[in-house]
Structure 1
Amino acid sequence: MTPPPRIRVLFDETAIARRNEELAQEVAKQKPENLLVVAVLKGSFMFAADLIRALHRAGLEPQVEFVHLSSYLDGTVSSGQVAILRDVESDVRGRDILLVDDILESGRTVAFAKDLLMARGAKRVLTAVLLEKPHKRAVTIDAEFVGFTCPDVFVVGYGMDVAHSYRQLPYVGVIDHMDTEPHLFDEQ
Protein backbone atom coordinates (compact mmCIF):
# COMPACT_ATOMS: atom_id res chain seq x y z
CA MET A 1 0.00 0.00 0.00
CA THR A 2 1.33 3.40 -0.96
CA PRO A 3 1.25 5.99 1.80
CA PRO A 4 -0.79 9.15 1.25
CA PRO A 5 1.19 12.19 0.16
CA ARG A 6 3.23 13.73 2.96
CA ILE A 7 3.33 10.48 5.02
CA ARG A 8 6.65 8.71 5.49
CA VAL A 9 6.40 5.13 6.82
CA LEU A 10 8.25 4.66 10.10
CA PHE A 11 7.06 1.14 11.09
CA ASP A 12 5.40 -0.90 8.33
CA GLU A 13 2.62 -3.49 8.56
CA THR A 14 5.00 -6.44 8.48
CA ALA A 15 7.21 -5.12 11.27
CA ILE A 16 4.18 -4.30 13.42
CA ALA A 17 2.60 -7.73 12.89
CA ARG A 18 5.88 -9.49 13.73
CA ARG A 19 6.37 -7.38 16.85
CA ASN A 20 2.79 -8.04 18.05
CA GLU A 21 3.47 -11.80 17.91
CA GLU A 22 6.71 -11.32 19.86
CA LEU A 23 4.98 -9.14 22.47
CA ALA A 24 2.23 -11.75 22.92
CA GLN A 25 4.88 -14.41 23.59
CA GLU A 26 6.55 -12.09 26.12
CA VAL A 27 3.22 -11.55 27.89
CA ALA A 28 2.50 -15.30 27.89
CA LYS A 29 5.85 -15.93 29.63
CA GLN A 30 4.56 -13.84 32.56
CA LYS A 31 1.85 -16.52 33.08
CA PRO A 32 -0.97 -14.04 33.71
CA GLU A 33 -3.97 -15.35 35.63
CA ASN A 34 -7.55 -14.28 34.94
CA LEU A 35 -6.14 -11.83 32.38
CA LEU A 36 -8.04 -8.66 31.58
CA VAL A 37 -6.73 -6.51 28.74
CA VAL A 38 -7.63 -2.85 29.24
CA ALA A 39 -7.15 -0.83 26.07
CA VAL A 40 -6.76 2.92 26.39
CA LEU A 41 -8.96 4.64 23.80
CA LYS A 42 -8.77 5.97 21.23
CA GLY A 43 -5.27 5.61 19.88
CA SER A 44 -4.59 2.04 20.97
CA PHE A 45 -7.61 0.38 19.35
CA MET A 46 -5.75 -1.13 16.36
CA PHE A 47 -2.74 -2.19 18.42
CA ALA A 48 -4.97 -3.67 21.12
CA ALA A 49 -7.06 -5.65 18.63
CA ASP A 50 -4.00 -7.14 16.92
CA LEU A 51 -2.25 -7.82 20.22
CA ILE A 52 -5.34 -9.55 21.67
CA ARG A 53 -5.51 -11.88 18.65
CA ALA A 54 -1.77 -12.57 19.07
CA LEU A 55 -2.36 -13.31 22.78
CA HIS A 56 -4.96 -15.89 21.72
CA ARG A 57 -2.44 -17.51 19.37
CA ALA A 58 0.05 -17.54 22.29
CA GLY A 59 -2.42 -19.63 24.30
CA LEU A 60 -3.98 -16.94 26.47
CA GLU A 61 -7.70 -16.26 26.90
CA PRO A 62 -7.95 -12.61 27.89
CA GLN A 63 -11.13 -10.73 28.56
CA VAL A 64 -11.22 -7.21 27.13
CA GLU A 65 -12.22 -3.82 28.52
CA PHE A 66 -11.73 -0.22 27.48
CA VAL A 67 -10.94 3.02 29.25
CA HIS A 68 -11.04 6.42 27.57
CA LEU A 69 -8.72 8.93 29.18
CA SER A 70 -7.76 12.42 28.13
CA SER A 71 -5.17 14.90 29.26
CA TYR A 72 -5.97 17.31 26.44
CA LEU A 73 -9.48 18.46 27.41
CA ASP A 74 -10.35 21.17 24.85
CA GLY A 75 -6.87 21.86 23.54
CA THR A 76 -4.11 20.22 21.57
CA VAL A 77 -1.50 20.54 24.32
CA SER A 78 -1.62 18.26 27.35
CA SER A 79 -3.05 19.88 30.46
CA GLY A 80 -1.01 17.59 32.71
CA GLN A 81 -4.27 16.41 34.35
CA VAL A 82 -5.92 13.15 33.24
CA ALA A 83 -9.70 12.90 33.01
CA ILE A 84 -11.72 9.67 32.74
CA LEU A 85 -14.12 9.97 29.80
CA ARG A 86 -15.16 6.27 29.84
CA ASP A 87 -14.34 3.94 32.71
CA VAL A 88 -13.68 0.21 32.90
CA GLU A 89 -16.90 -1.65 33.71
CA SER A 90 -15.43 -4.94 34.96
CA ASP A 91 -14.28 -5.64 38.50
CA VAL A 92 -10.48 -5.75 38.43
CA ARG A 93 -9.95 -7.03 41.99
CA GLY A 94 -7.48 -9.90 42.15
CA ARG A 95 -6.90 -9.94 38.38
CA ASP A 96 -3.82 -9.62 36.24
CA ILE A 97 -4.30 -6.61 33.98
CA LEU A 98 -2.54 -5.85 30.72
CA LEU A 99 -2.91 -2.12 30.15
CA VAL A 100 -2.49 -1.40 26.43
CA ASP A 101 -1.74 2.07 25.04
CA ASP A 102 -0.49 3.40 21.74
CA ILE A 103 2.39 5.56 22.89
CA LEU A 104 4.30 6.14 26.12
CA GLU A 105 5.62 9.67 26.04
CA SER A 106 5.09 11.88 29.10
CA GLY A 107 3.81 8.82 30.97
CA ARG A 108 0.97 10.69 32.69
CA THR A 109 -1.88 8.74 31.13
CA VAL A 110 -0.32 5.30 31.60
CA ALA A 111 0.75 6.10 35.18
CA PHE A 112 -2.74 7.41 36.00
CA ALA A 113 -4.43 4.30 34.56
CA LYS A 114 -2.01 1.91 36.24
CA ASP A 115 -2.42 3.61 39.63
CA LEU A 116 -6.21 3.62 39.22
CA LEU A 117 -6.36 -0.12 38.45
CA MET A 118 -4.01 -0.99 41.32
CA ALA A 119 -6.08 1.15 43.72
CA ARG A 120 -9.13 -0.82 42.63
CA GLY A 121 -7.44 -4.05 43.73
CA ALA A 122 -5.80 -5.47 40.62
CA LYS A 123 -3.32 -8.21 41.48
CA ARG A 124 -0.82 -6.93 38.92
CA VAL A 125 -0.91 -4.30 36.17
CA LEU A 126 1.50 -4.82 33.30
CA THR A 127 1.73 -2.27 30.52
CA ALA A 128 2.16 -2.79 26.80
CA VAL A 129 2.73 0.12 24.45
CA LEU A 130 3.25 0.11 20.73
CA LEU A 131 5.67 3.04 20.85
CA GLU A 132 7.73 4.72 23.50
CA LYS A 133 9.62 7.98 23.50
CA PRO A 134 11.86 7.39 26.54
CA HIS A 135 13.32 10.89 26.67
CA LYS A 136 9.92 12.62 26.98
CA ARG A 137 8.88 11.36 30.45
CA ALA A 138 7.22 13.78 32.84
CA VAL A 139 6.63 11.00 35.40
CA THR A 140 8.63 7.92 36.34
CA ILE A 141 7.13 4.92 34.57
CA ASP A 142 8.31 2.23 32.19
CA ALA A 143 6.26 -0.22 30.18
CA GLU A 144 6.95 -3.92 30.64
CA PHE A 145 6.28 -4.55 26.94
CA VAL A 146 7.35 -2.09 24.23
CA GLY A 147 6.76 -2.55 20.53
CA PHE A 148 9.22 0.04 19.23
CA THR A 149 11.31 2.91 20.49
CA CYS A 150 10.15 5.93 18.53
CA PRO A 151 12.17 8.95 17.52
CA ASP A 152 10.92 12.31 18.74
CA VAL A 153 8.55 12.91 15.82
CA PHE A 154 4.79 13.28 15.61
CA VAL A 155 3.39 9.94 14.41
CA VAL A 156 0.08 8.94 12.85
CA GLY A 157 -1.52 5.74 11.65
CA TYR A 158 -2.29 2.39 13.21
CA GLY A 159 -4.88 4.10 15.42
CA MET A 160 -3.03 7.35 16.06
CA ASP A 161 -4.33 10.56 14.56
CA VAL A 162 -3.96 14.24 13.98
CA ALA A 163 -7.25 16.14 13.99
CA HIS A 164 -9.10 12.79 13.67
CA SER A 165 -7.31 11.87 10.42
CA TYR A 166 -4.95 8.99 9.54
CA ARG A 167 -6.11 6.50 12.23
CA GLN A 168 -7.00 4.00 9.48
CA LEU A 169 -3.47 3.65 8.12
CA PRO A 170 -2.13 0.09 8.64
CA TYR A 171 1.34 1.38 9.54
CA VAL A 172 2.90 4.09 11.71
CA GLY A 173 4.06 7.08 9.75
CA VAL A 174 5.41 10.58 10.07
CA ILE A 175 3.76 13.53 8.39
CA ASP A 176 6.32 15.44 6.38
CA HIS A 177 6.01 19.21 6.03
CA MET A 178 4.05 19.67 9.26
CA ASP A 179 4.56 23.42 8.93
CA THR A 180 1.24 23.74 7.07
CA GLU A 181 -0.82 23.56 10.28
CA PRO A 182 1.70 23.65 13.16
CA HIS A 183 -0.92 24.09 15.92
CA LEU A 184 -2.15 20.55 15.20
CA PHE A 185 1.23 19.10 16.13
CA ASP A 186 1.97 20.83 19.44
CA GLU A 187 2.19 17.59 21.43
CA GLN A 188 1.51 13.90 20.80
Structure 2
Amino acid sequence: MADTPTVLLTEEEVQARVAALAREIAPRTDDETVAVCLLTGGLWFAADLTRALARVGRNVRFDALWLASYGDARASLGRCEVRADLQRPLMGRKALVLDDVFDTGLSLSEAARLVRDAGAADVLTAVFARKPWPTQRAMEPDFVAWEAPARFLVGYGMDRAGELRGLPYIGALD
Protein backbone atom coordinates (compact mmCIF):
# COMPACT_ATOMS: atom_id res chain seq x y z
CA MET A 1 0.00 0.00 0.00
CA ALA A 2 1.29 3.43 -0.92
CA ASP A 3 1.99 5.94 1.86
CA THR A 4 1.29 8.98 -0.31
CA PRO A 5 -2.27 9.10 -1.62
CA THR A 6 -2.94 9.40 -5.33
CA VAL A 7 -5.14 12.52 -5.67
CA LEU A 8 -8.54 11.66 -7.15
CA LEU A 9 -10.35 14.94 -6.41
CA THR A 10 -8.58 18.19 -5.59
CA GLU A 11 -9.74 20.48 -2.80
CA GLU A 12 -11.31 22.77 -5.41
CA GLU A 13 -13.17 19.86 -7.05
CA VAL A 14 -14.45 18.70 -3.65
CA GLN A 15 -15.80 22.18 -2.88
CA ALA A 16 -17.42 22.52 -6.32
CA ARG A 17 -19.23 19.21 -5.83
CA VAL A 18 -20.43 20.25 -2.35
CA ALA A 19 -21.76 23.56 -3.71
CA ALA A 20 -23.59 21.77 -6.54
CA LEU A 21 -25.07 19.29 -4.08
CA ALA A 22 -26.30 22.11 -1.81
CA ARG A 23 -28.16 23.63 -4.76
CA GLU A 24 -29.76 20.24 -5.41
CA ILE A 25 -30.71 19.63 -1.76
CA ALA A 26 -31.97 23.13 -0.86
CA PRO A 27 -35.40 22.84 -2.58
CA ARG A 28 -36.12 19.61 -0.65
CA THR A 29 -35.35 21.11 2.79
CA ASP A 30 -36.44 24.02 4.95
CA ASP A 31 -34.96 25.98 7.84
CA GLU A 32 -36.52 23.51 10.33
CA THR A 33 -34.62 20.60 8.74
CA VAL A 34 -32.08 18.98 11.03
CA ALA A 35 -28.84 17.97 9.34
CA VAL A 36 -27.61 14.83 11.13
CA CYS A 37 -23.89 14.25 10.69
CA LEU A 38 -22.53 10.73 11.01
CA LEU A 39 -19.39 10.95 13.08
CA THR A 40 -16.57 10.91 12.67
CA GLY A 41 -16.02 10.70 8.93
CA GLY A 42 -19.00 12.82 7.93
CA LEU A 43 -17.86 15.86 9.90
CA TRP A 44 -15.90 17.51 7.05
CA PHE A 45 -18.70 17.00 4.52
CA ALA A 46 -21.41 18.09 6.98
CA ALA A 47 -19.57 21.31 7.87
CA ASP A 48 -18.99 22.23 4.23
CA LEU A 49 -22.49 21.23 3.10
CA THR A 50 -24.31 23.14 5.85
CA ARG A 51 -22.29 26.26 4.99
CA ALA A 52 -23.02 25.74 1.28
CA LEU A 53 -26.72 25.39 2.10
CA ALA A 54 -26.57 28.68 4.01
CA ARG A 55 -25.03 30.34 0.93
CA VAL A 56 -28.12 29.33 -1.07
CA GLY A 57 -30.50 30.58 1.63
CA ARG A 58 -31.16 27.39 3.62
CA ASN A 59 -30.18 27.56 7.30
CA VAL A 60 -30.61 24.01 8.56
CA ARG A 61 -30.21 22.96 12.16
CA PHE A 62 -27.45 20.55 13.18
CA ASP A 63 -27.08 17.34 15.17
CA ALA A 64 -24.83 14.29 15.07
CA LEU A 65 -24.88 10.54 15.54
CA TRP A 66 -21.73 8.63 16.28
CA LEU A 67 -21.96 5.16 14.78
CA ALA A 68 -19.09 2.73 14.42
CA SER A 69 -19.07 -0.08 11.87
CA TYR A 70 -15.39 -0.21 10.89
CA GLY A 71 -13.25 0.55 13.92
CA ASP A 72 -9.73 0.76 12.48
CA ALA A 73 -10.36 -2.09 10.03
CA ARG A 74 -10.49 -1.74 6.24
CA ALA A 75 -13.67 -3.83 6.03
CA SER A 76 -16.99 -3.35 7.77
CA LEU A 77 -17.54 -5.32 10.95
CA GLY A 78 -21.06 -6.06 9.70
CA ARG A 79 -22.80 -4.27 12.56
CA CYS A 80 -23.23 -0.73 13.85
CA GLU A 81 -22.51 0.37 17.37
CA VAL A 82 -24.14 3.62 18.59
CA ARG A 83 -21.44 5.53 20.48
CA ALA A 84 -23.35 8.83 20.82
CA ASP A 85 -27.03 9.43 20.13
CA LEU A 86 -28.96 12.42 18.84
CA GLN A 87 -29.23 15.52 21.03
CA ARG A 88 -31.85 17.59 19.15
CA PRO A 89 -35.57 16.67 19.02
CA LEU A 90 -36.61 15.45 15.57
CA MET A 91 -40.31 14.83 16.16
CA GLY A 92 -42.24 16.06 13.13
CA ARG A 93 -39.19 17.60 11.44
CA LYS A 94 -37.40 16.73 8.24
CA ALA A 95 -33.96 15.24 8.75
CA LEU A 96 -31.01 15.17 6.36
CA VAL A 97 -28.54 12.42 7.30
CA LEU A 98 -24.99 13.21 6.09
CA ASP A 99 -22.03 10.87 5.68
CA ASP A 100 -18.69 10.91 3.90
CA VAL A 101 -18.75 7.63 1.99
CA PHE A 102 -21.39 5.05 1.09
CA ASP A 103 -20.10 1.54 0.53
CA THR A 104 -21.92 -1.30 2.33
CA GLY A 105 -24.76 1.05 3.26
CA LEU A 106 -24.86 -0.30 6.81
CA SER A 107 -24.12 2.97 8.66
CA LEU A 108 -26.43 5.12 6.54
CA SER A 109 -29.26 2.59 6.75
CA GLU A 110 -28.92 2.32 10.54
CA ALA A 111 -28.73 6.10 10.91
CA ALA A 112 -31.86 6.59 8.79
CA ARG A 113 -33.68 4.02 10.96
CA LEU A 114 -32.58 5.75 14.18
CA VAL A 115 -33.69 9.14 12.84
CA ARG A 116 -37.08 7.75 11.78
CA ASP A 117 -37.44 6.11 15.21
CA ALA A 118 -36.72 9.52 16.79
CA GLY A 119 -39.86 10.84 15.08
CA ALA A 120 -38.56 12.59 11.98
CA ALA A 121 -41.43 13.30 9.57
CA ASP A 122 -39.19 12.79 6.54
CA VAL A 123 -35.67 11.39 6.25
CA LEU A 124 -33.35 12.36 3.39
CA THR A 125 -29.80 11.06 3.05
CA ALA A 126 -26.75 12.57 1.39
CA VAL A 127 -23.21 11.28 1.00
CA PHE A 128 -20.16 12.81 -0.52
CA ALA A 129 -18.87 9.63 -2.18
CA ARG A 130 -20.72 6.50 -3.30
CA LYS A 131 -18.49 3.52 -4.03
CA PRO A 132 -19.60 0.66 -6.27
CA TRP A 133 -20.69 -2.45 -4.40
CA PRO A 134 -20.96 -6.03 -5.71
CA THR A 135 -24.37 -6.74 -4.17
CA GLN A 136 -27.60 -4.80 -3.80
CA ARG A 137 -27.63 -2.60 -0.71
CA ALA A 138 -30.57 -2.20 1.66
CA MET A 139 -30.92 1.44 0.61
CA GLU A 140 -29.38 4.07 -1.66
CA PRO A 141 -28.72 7.69 -0.65
CA ASP A 142 -31.05 10.39 -1.91
CA PHE A 143 -28.15 12.68 -2.85
CA VAL A 144 -24.61 11.84 -3.96
CA ALA A 145 -21.87 14.37 -4.70
CA TRP A 146 -19.40 11.98 -6.35
CA GLU A 147 -19.47 8.47 -7.81
CA ALA A 148 -16.20 7.14 -6.42
CA PRO A 149 -14.08 4.33 -7.80
CA ALA A 150 -13.68 1.03 -5.94
CA ARG A 151 -10.45 2.12 -4.26
CA PHE A 152 -9.32 2.69 -0.68
CA LEU A 153 -10.18 6.36 -0.17
CA VAL A 154 -8.62 8.80 2.29
CA GLY A 155 -9.02 12.49 2.99
CA TYR A 156 -12.07 14.70 3.47
CA GLY A 157 -13.14 12.60 6.44
CA MET A 158 -12.12 9.20 5.09
CA ASP A 159 -9.22 7.55 6.85
CA ARG A 160 -6.73 4.75 7.24
CA ALA A 161 -6.95 3.68 10.89
CA GLY A 162 -7.62 7.28 11.98
CA GLU A 163 -4.95 8.84 9.74
CA LEU A 164 -5.35 11.18 6.78
CA ARG A 165 -8.96 12.29 7.53
CA GLY A 166 -7.95 15.95 7.50
CA LEU A 167 -6.62 16.02 3.95
CA PRO A 168 -8.59 18.69 2.04
CA TYR A 169 -8.65 16.50 -1.06
CA ILE A 170 -9.67 12.89 -1.71
CA GLY A 171 -6.95 10.42 -2.45
CA ALA A 172 -6.56 6.68 -2.91
CA LEU A 173 -4.18 4.37 -1.10
CA ASP A 174 -3.87 1.22 -3.19
So what's the TM-score if we normalise by structure 1? 0.86
- Tell me the SS of whatever aligns to 1:135: coil
Q: Which residue of 2 aligns with 1:35?
A: 33
Work out the CA distance in 1 between the residues paired with 2:135 and 2:63.
Answer: 26
CA contact (8 A) 1:33 1:96 kept: no
Offset of residue 164 of structure 1: 1.4
The correspondence for 1:161, drawn from 147, 159, 166, is 159
- Tell me the SS of whatever aligns to 1:142: coil
Structure 1: any 5+ residue segments left out of the alignment? 177-188
Residue 51 of structure 1 pairs with residue 49 of structure 2: yes
Segments ≥4 residues shifted beyond 6 Å: none
Structure 1 residues 113 and 5, CA gap change in structure 2 (3 angstroms): closer
- RMSD between superposed Cα atoms in Å: 1.8
Aligned length, in residue pairs = 173
Work out the CA distance in 2 between the residues paired with 1:136 and 1:93.
Answer: 36
Work out the CA distance in 2 between the residues paired with 1:150 and 1:95.
Answer: 31
CA contact (8 A) 2:9 2:170 kept: yes
Offset of residue 78 of structure 1: 2.0
The correspondence for 1:127, drawn from 111, 125, 128, is 125
One-letter amino acid of the structure 2 residue matched with residue 9 of structure 1: V
Identity among equivalent pairs (%): 36
So what's the TM-score if we normalise by structure 2? 0.92
Q: Which residue of 2 aligns with 1:13?
A: 11
One-letter amino acid of the structure 2 residue matched with residue 127 of structure 1: T
Offset of residue 33 of structure 1: 5.3
